[in-house]
Chains A and B, each alone.
Chain A
Amino acid sequence: QKEVEQNSGPLSVPEGAIASLNCTYSDRGSQSFFWYRQYSGKSPELIMFIYSNGDKEDGRFTAQLNKASQYVSLLIRDSQPSDSATYLCAVKGETGFQKLVFGTGTRLLVSP
């Protein structure tokens, strides 16, 4: 079983809708959780990170974390066609040097 699980999608939503991306992780010691957006052939771009249970909002993006359920999600409000990309969930352990463990990513398609 992969340490970080995501539905590969594609997740298709119409323009203006809310896109909901989910991620589960297996290591209960994980401390920090990151969402990256990656366009095909490009590098991962950091969208948000969260480390406390609850919600964290930044513009159209909201990250949600539930450590008891080992679950983290990303909501994208007012989805735009330019949001179409692969969204990677990444998890990091306790220390400052810890590697990121990525999920396989969810491909999001936003149709005009």
Chain B
Amino acid sequence: AAGVIQSPRHLIKEKRETATLKCYPIPRHDTVYWYQQGPGQDPQFLISFYEKMQSDKGSIPDRFSAQQFSDYHSELNMSSLELGDSALYFCASSATGVPSSYNEQFFGPGTRLTVL
């Protein structure tokens, strides 16, 4: 079965540079979520989109922005990168056409961002 696709898988950037992470949800999934996981920490919710509209916002820094496109893929744009942004960034997707509270989120393989 098709899974969530994320690219790139690894990214190395210098401080103050910008980065763009991409996420392609499971086919027919209409909701995308972004999570950040630092070393030894649990995933922290950043932002989500449903039908190209922002649906929820978590602890996403103002330096970050995201959007969902007409083909449902999403991009997370990160500017003025800081050392503390080094983390695993996961995208997850779900289908909201089924009874709403039980939509399982399936995670992509993640992008490992290293800021030097």
A96 near B109 with CB under 8 A, answer: no
The residues of A that contact B100 with a CB separation of less than 8 Å are 95-96
Q: Which residues of B contact A42 (CB under 8 A)?
A: 109-110
Q: How large is the interface on A (under 10, 10 to 19, 20 to 34, 35 or more residues)?
A: 20 to 34
Segment of A14-22, A45-53, A63-71, A75-83 engaged in the interface with chain B = A45-53
Once A96-B96, A97-B31, A99-B45 are accepted as A-B contacts, the answer to whether A51 and B102 lie under 8 Å apart by CB is: yes
Known: A31-B101, A94-B101, A97-B55. A43 touches B110 (CB 8 A): yes
- B24 touches A (CB below 8 Å): no
Please tell me if A74 contacts chain B, counting CB pairs below 8 Å. no
Contact status of A102 and B42, CB under 8 A, knowing A32-B101, A49-B102: yes
Interface of A is mostly: loop
Q: Is A62 an interface residue (CB 8 A)?
A: no
* Given known A-B contacts A99-B48, A99-B58, A104 and B42 have beta carbons under 8 A apart: yes
Q: From known contacts A95-B100, A96-B31, A99-B56, infer whether A43 and B109 are also in contact, taking CB-CB under 8 Å.
A: yes
Pair A102/B43 contact, Cβ less than 8 Å: yes
Assembled-state Cα–Cα distance A101/B46 (Å) = 11
Task: Please name all residues of chain B whose beta carbon is closer than 8 Å to the beta carbon of A34 when the two chains form the complex.
Answer: 104-105
Max count, chain A CB within 10 A of own CB: residue among B100, B101, B110: B101
Q: Does A98 contact B (CB under 8 A)?
A: yes
CA distance A96 to B56 in the complex (A): 11
Q: A22-54 CB contact bits vs B (8 Å, 1 = yes)?
A: 000000000110101000011111100101000
